[in-house]
């Protein structure tokens, strides 16, 4: 049965690759659409889209997914013609192309589920076929020609020449700039990459051509780069942006009384594809990039976890030896080295699992576009990403949450254009998503809109509770399971997940925070803060009634001494719920919960001497424990079985004694104590 | 003929299909989990997984017993769930001719809440066959949905 196994693996690789190219196609089509709305063309985007579909078609043909071949083939044909004619894509064509991409996506998703890819509808195929007929080449009459070496000109693709000529026609200047790398310049931080970055701020880089030149003092490497630029900035501005005088800039446009002079020297799009197919030309420069199945990384992480556990055992044995009077100084030195190496190894594996946060964001524009059409809202999307990276598993859990918040914003929050005008707001609503690392360990994501805001009284009425007097209270109401503030289930929202799931994912699963800021009539902002990675955390270990527990450091606000004389007992209910004490912390009354009582453990011989303070919904809560044991990195293993799921327990870890130790989520525990009087009553 | 693992509880012999058993281990106690059902001793780590320990004595309504040298946990898998079953002892692995299984008399089946689905006579010995899905299934409705398996890919840059 190796044949099937191979094919399976092959299909898996095909699905991944196809998805990637579909993402590119989506992104580029949207970029083309938005460029055209501003009166520009985006020939590069068009070519990227073409390449993606060409690859999808080729791959699909290899694994025999004919329905996808049929769709991709038609899209590819049309895109090839458009590229040749250099014309802008009409809006109906963009719509049809996006529909085509969507149709392929659906088939890829079906294959991923193990289903069969359905044949495409005749209507879609006809729509794609008819595109080619309407795409008549647009005659252009450039008034300029490019004053460029024929050799260089030959290296420019037709669309690049076209981009230059169009740019010149709209008043921009076409320039060529030369940069020669040298060790001295590199020492000043000037490499082709940094030059490229700096120039990109003042000019559009149409093409960068490397060229071999004779070795000279100005070009010790015998290499120079020619950057073909389009800009509206002055030469001085460009020189200033790059910050060097060594950049040789000259114009390359010359008036032409005659008609187009673009010689057909440049390779056609098809000729270029010969390179694409064998991987020589790759715009994403994927050289040195390895695609890895996440499960393999999980294996590596698992191995590391085992190492960390072994280290604890070793440390214990050494401690025992020391207690017996053995000289363990050298062993301790080795252990220190070992600790450092483990840290480095861990950091390396964690880094491998990281994906750029922009990968999350790049899928949003398509979503918003779809919502815009489905809801007839006019929405402008502002995305602010960054260089932050986060663990793949966090990213996977985060995405559905962002989708939900975006849907809510467009569907419920942002008003119809008429309504907005009536309220004195701009006709176009604003949806803004920002994403950035807040510290080394946390990522902050905000989703804000300038829509109608949330009506506290209405939500409260719906939930049958008194109106909350702050945003935190409102958020709590919104997260009540099953609460929907809308009676009508619309096509875009109303199904899928509610705020309850958002909260469960962010707070319970990821150990993050969720905040709401809503001003009635003005808009709403959701702020999500999640850890960049999960599974290995820094934790405090402590003891309570002879049982050991750990709690992640990030959750703990403070550890305080408990003076049992300073405890104030609060009158308890008679329903058997755990008693709550109060303690004064810097003049503020903090409720204190006896952990042993909540967990139905035996009372300790002495009253608890320490308390761990956490913050829940802005308010501190203290948990009394017997004693703190230390702080260490722990590997958190999930406890998935329903039999052992308990509020306040987020997993288990191994501290080296071979027995699992419970990892506590004291924030969730305090929440569960509030919502039900006996959350942990034993069935015993 | 099918391989079975034999174990005892309060002097009675039970059998479990071998193919659902991952391993057997000695038992030194589990970590208590607050709020777990009475028949759950707690959790143990097996092969890097955290699994619940079901005390079959309590599950079958028998008096609890101290942990002894013979006490074993049988780690079993059933439709994706892994659990450890605490038993008095487990020593034998036997091939049983399942054609000869007899349906459990209704009174037995009722007394054991349906956990025993058949009886097998082996010479003079009577073996009770455990219905593992039934034993675990009662809680299946509130099982968490399996987390979406990480099927995506990620990339890393090779040092150049």
Extents of the domains making up chain B: 2-138
Query: Coil, helix or strand for A520?
Result: coil
Number of helical (H) and strand (E) elements in chain B, helices listed first: 3, 12
List, in sequence order, every beta strand (DSSP E) within A416-534. Answer: 429-437, 442-449, 513-519, 523-531
A326 has pLDDT over 60? yes
Using an 8 Å Cβ cutoff, are A63 and A14 in contact? yes
Please give the CATH architecture assigned to the domain spanning A355-531: 2-Layer Sandwich (3.30)
Encoded tokens for A390 = 């986060």
Distance CA A273, CA A248 (A): 33
Q: Any idea what the Cα angle at residue A385 is, between residues A382 and A389, rounded to 5°?
A: 155
Which pLDDT score is estimated for A135? 44
- Can you tell me whether residue B83 is helix, strand or coil? strand
CB count within 10 Å of CB A494 equals 16
Q: What is the pLDDT of residues A396-426, one digit of tens each?
A: 888 889 988 998 898 888 988 899 999 999 9
Q: Is the pLDDT of residue A283 over 80?
A: no
DSSP A554: G
Chain A, nearest residue to B39 by Cα: A684
Helices and strands in chain A, H and E counts: 22, 25
Q: Can you tell me the distance from the alpha carbon of A252 to that of A152, in angstroms, rounded to the nearest whole number?
A: 11
- Confidence at residue A430, expressed as pLDDT on a 0 to 100 scale: 94
- Say whether B50 and A638 touch across the interface (CB within 8 A): yes
Q: What is the mean pLDDT of residues A164-186?
A: 79
* Confidence grade of residue A263 (pLDDT, cut at 50, 70, 90): very low
Cβ pair B38:A682 closer than 8 A: yes
ipTM topping 0.85: no
Spatial separation of the C-alpha atoms in residues A24 and A30, rounded to whole Å: 10
- Return the sign of the alpha-carbon dihedral for residues A177, A178, A182, A184: negative
Show which of residues 23-42 on chain B sit within 8 Å of chain A, judged by CB atoms. Answer: 29-38, 40, 42
Check residue A265 and give its pLDDT.
39
The dihedral of CA A28, A34, A37, A40: what is its sign?
A: negative
pLDDT at B153 > cutoff 50: no
Residue with tokens 């058993």: B21
CATH pick for B2-138 out of 3.30.2010.10, 3.40.50.300, 2.40.50.180, 3.40.50.970: 2.40.50.180
Please answer whether residues A610 and A595 qualify as being in contact, where contact means their C-beta atoms are separated by less than 8 angstroms: no
The pLDDT of A484-509, averaged and rounded, is 59
CA distance A551 to A671: 16
Specify the pLDDT at position A550.
Answer: 94
Selected residue of A643, A646, A649, A681 to mutate for chain B interface (largest B Cβ count, 10 A): A643
Measured between beta carbons, the chain B residues lying within 8 angstroms of A352 are: 154, 156
Select from A169, A170, A235, A231 the least CA-distant residue to A202.
A231
What is the spatial distance between Cα A510 and Cα A554, in angstroms, rounded to a whole number? 12
Q: What is the pLDDT of residues A36-95, one digit of tens each?
A: 888 788 888 888 888 888 888 878 877 778 889 889 988 888 888 887 777 778 888 888
What does the pLDDT read at residue A279? 36
- Residues, chain A, total? 684
pLDDT band, residue B89 (cuts 50/70/90): very high
Burial label, A213 (beta-carbon count in 10 A; 0-12, 13-18, 19+): middle
Mean pLDDT computed over A461-483 = 83
C-alpha separations of A129 from A93, A183, A261 in Å = 11, 55, 32
Tokens representing A178 are: 């030369």
Specify the fold of A536-675: OB fold (Dihydrolipoamide Acetyltransferase, E2P) (2.40.50)
Å from B123 to nearest chain A CA? 38
Domain A2-134 has CATH 1.20.120.160: yes
- Say how far apart CA A615 and CA A556 lie, in whole Å: 8
Fold of A144-277: Alpha-Beta Plaits (3.30.70)
Q: Between B129 and A387, name the one with better pLDDT.
A: B129
The answer to whether A95 and A128 have CB atoms below 8 angstroms apart is no
Q: Do B35 and A639 touch (CB under 8 A)?
A: no
- Is the pLDDT at A684 greater than 90? The verdict is no
| Contact present, A614 and A621 (Cβ < 8 Å) | yes
Q: Does B67 touch chain A (CB under 8 A)?
A: no
Of A249 and A344, the structure prediction assigns the larger pLDDT to A344
Hey, are the CB atoms on B152 and A637 less than 8 Å from each other? Answer: no
Q: Phi and psi for B3 in degrees, rounded to 5?
A: -70, 140
Among the listed residues A472, A669, A644, the one whose alpha carbon sits nearest the alpha carbon of residue A552 = A669
Q: Which residues contact A9 (CB under 8 A, 6 or more apart)?
A: none
Closest to A659 (Cβ–Cβ): which among B31, B148, B156?
B31
pLDDT confidence band for A489 (50 / 70 / 90): very low
Nearest residue on chain B to A355, judged by CA atoms?
A: B154
**Degrees (nearest 5) of the Cα angle A326, A328, A330?**
145
Most confident of A225-229, A241-245, A379-383: A379-383
Which residues in B128-138 are b (16+ Cβ under 10 Å) and which e? bbbbbeebbee
Residue A165 φ/ψ, nearest 5 degrees: -65, -40
Q: What are the residues whose beta carbons fall under 8 Å from the beta carbon of B109, sequence distance 6 or more?
A: B116, B117
Q: How many CB pairs under 8 A join A and B?
A: 132
Task: Work out the number of other CB atoms within 10 angstroms of the CB of residue A556.
Answer: 18
Whether the CB-CB separation of B31 and A652 falls below 8 Å is answered with yes
B26: which residues sit within 8 A by CB, 6+ positions away? B69, B71, B72, B73
pLDDT band at A654 (very low <50, low <70, confident <90, very high): confident
pLDDT at B149 over 80: no
Domain boundaries along the sequence of chain A: 2-134, 144-277, 294-353, 355-531, 536-675
The answer to whether residue B84 neighbours chain A at the CB level (below 8 Å) is: no
* CA A585 to chain centroid: 40
Return mean pLDDT, chain A.
Answer: 78
Residue A122 has pLDDT above 80, yes or no: yes
């Amino acid at each position: 049965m190796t044949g099937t196994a191979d094919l399976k693996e092959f299909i898996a690789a095909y699905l991944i690759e196809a998805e990637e190219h579909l993402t590119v196609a989506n992104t580029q089509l949207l970029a083309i659409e938005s460029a055209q709305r501003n009166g520009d063309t985006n020939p590069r985007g068009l070519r990227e889209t073409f390449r993606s579909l060409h690859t999808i078609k080729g791959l699909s043909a290899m694994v025999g997914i004919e329905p996808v071949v049929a769709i991709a083939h038609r899209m590819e044909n049309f895109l090839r013609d458009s590229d040749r004619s250099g014309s802008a894509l009409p809006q109906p064509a963009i719509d049809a192309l996006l529909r085509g991409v969507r149709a392929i996506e659906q088939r890829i998703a079906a294959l991923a589920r193990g289903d069969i890819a359905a044949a495409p509808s005749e209507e879609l195929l006809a729509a794609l076929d008819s595109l080619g007929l309407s795409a008549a080449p647009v005659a252009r009459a450039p008034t300029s020609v490019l004053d460029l070496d024929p050799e260089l000109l030959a290296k420019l693709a037709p669309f690049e020449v076209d981009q230059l000529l169009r740019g010149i026609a709209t008043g921009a200047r076409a320039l060529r700039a030369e940069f020669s790398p040298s060790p001295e310049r590199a020492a000043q931080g000037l490499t082709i990459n940094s030059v490229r970055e700096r120039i990109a701020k003042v000019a559009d880089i149409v093409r960068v051509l490397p060229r071999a030149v004779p070795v000279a003092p100005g070009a010790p490497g015998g290499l120079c780069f020619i950057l073909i630029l389009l800009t509206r900035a002055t030469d001085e501005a460009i020189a200033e942006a790059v910050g060097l005088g060594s950049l040789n800039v000259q114009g390359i446009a010359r008036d032409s009384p005659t008609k187009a002079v673009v010689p057909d020297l440049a390779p056609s799009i098809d000729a270029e594809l010969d390179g694409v197919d064998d991987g020589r030309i790759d715009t994403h420069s994927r050289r040195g990039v390895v695609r890895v199945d996440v499960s393999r990384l999980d294996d590596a992480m698992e191995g590391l976890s085992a190492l960390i556990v072994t280290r604890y055992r070793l440390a214990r044995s050494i401690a025992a030896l020391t207690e017996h009077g053995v000289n363990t100084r050298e062993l301790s030195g080795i252990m220190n080295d070992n600790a450092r190496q483990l840290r480095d190894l861990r950091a390396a594996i964690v880094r491998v699992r990281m994906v750029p946060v922009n990968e999350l964001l790049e899928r949003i524009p398509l979503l918003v576009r779809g919502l815009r059409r489905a809801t007839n809202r006019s929405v402008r999307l502002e995305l602010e990403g960054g260089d932050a990276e986060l663990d793949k598993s966090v990213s996977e859990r985060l995405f559905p949450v962002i989708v939900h918040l975006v849907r809510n914003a467009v569907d419920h929050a942002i008003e119809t254009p008429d309504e907005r005008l009536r309220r004195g707001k701009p006709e176009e609503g604003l949806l803004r998503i920002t994403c950035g690392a807040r510290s080394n360990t946390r990522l902050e994501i905000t989703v804000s809109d300038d829509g109608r805001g949330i009506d506290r009284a209405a939500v409260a009425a719906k939930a049958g509770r008194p109106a909350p007097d702050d945003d935190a209270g409102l958020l709590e109401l919104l997260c009540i399971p099953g609460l929907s503030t809308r009676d009508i289930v619309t096509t875009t929202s109303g199904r899928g997940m509610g705020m309850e799931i958002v909260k469960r994912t962010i707070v319970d699963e990821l150990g993050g925070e969720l905040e709401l800021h809503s001003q009635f009539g003005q808009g709403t902002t959701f702020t999500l803060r999640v850890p960049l990675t999960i599974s290995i955390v820094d934790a405090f270990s402590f003891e309570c009634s002879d049982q050991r527990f750990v709690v992640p450091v990030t959750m703990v606000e403070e550890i305080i001494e408990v003076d049992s004389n300073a405890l104030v007992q609060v009158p308890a209910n008679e329903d058997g719920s755990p008693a709550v004490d109060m303690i004064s912390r810097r003049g503020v009354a903090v409720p204190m919960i006896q952990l042993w009582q909540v967990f139905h453990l035996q009372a300790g011989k002495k009253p608890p001497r320490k308390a761990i303070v956490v913050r829940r919904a802005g308010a501190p809560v203290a948990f009394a424990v017997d004693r703190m044991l230390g702080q260490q990195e722990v590997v958190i293993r999930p406890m998935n079985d329903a039999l052992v799921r308990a509020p306040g327990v987020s997993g288990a870890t191994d501290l080296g004694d071979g027995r699992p130790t419970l990892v506590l989520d004291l924030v969730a525990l305090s929440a569960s104590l509030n919502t039900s009087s006996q959350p942990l009553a034993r069935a015993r | 003929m099918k391989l079975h693992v034999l174990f005892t509880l309060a002097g009675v012999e039970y059998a479990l299909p071998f193919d659902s058993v991952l391993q057997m281990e000695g038992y030194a106690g589990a970590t208590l989990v607050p709020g777990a059902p009475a028949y759950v001793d707690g959790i143990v780590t097996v092969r890097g997984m955290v699994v619940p320990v079901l005390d079959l004595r309590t599950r079958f309504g028998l008096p609890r017993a101290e942990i002894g040298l013979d006490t074993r946990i049988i780690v079993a898998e059933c439709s994706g769930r892994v659990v450890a079953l605490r038993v008095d002892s487990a020593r034998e692995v036997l091939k049983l001719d399942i054609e000869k299984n007899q349906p459990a008399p209704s009174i037995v089946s009722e007394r054991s809440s349906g956990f025993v689905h058949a009886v097998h006579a082996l010479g003079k010995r009577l073996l009770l066959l455990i219905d593992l899905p039934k034993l675990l299934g009662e809680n299946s409705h509130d099982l968490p949905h399996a987390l979406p398996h990480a099927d995506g890919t990620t990339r890393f840059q090779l040092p150049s």
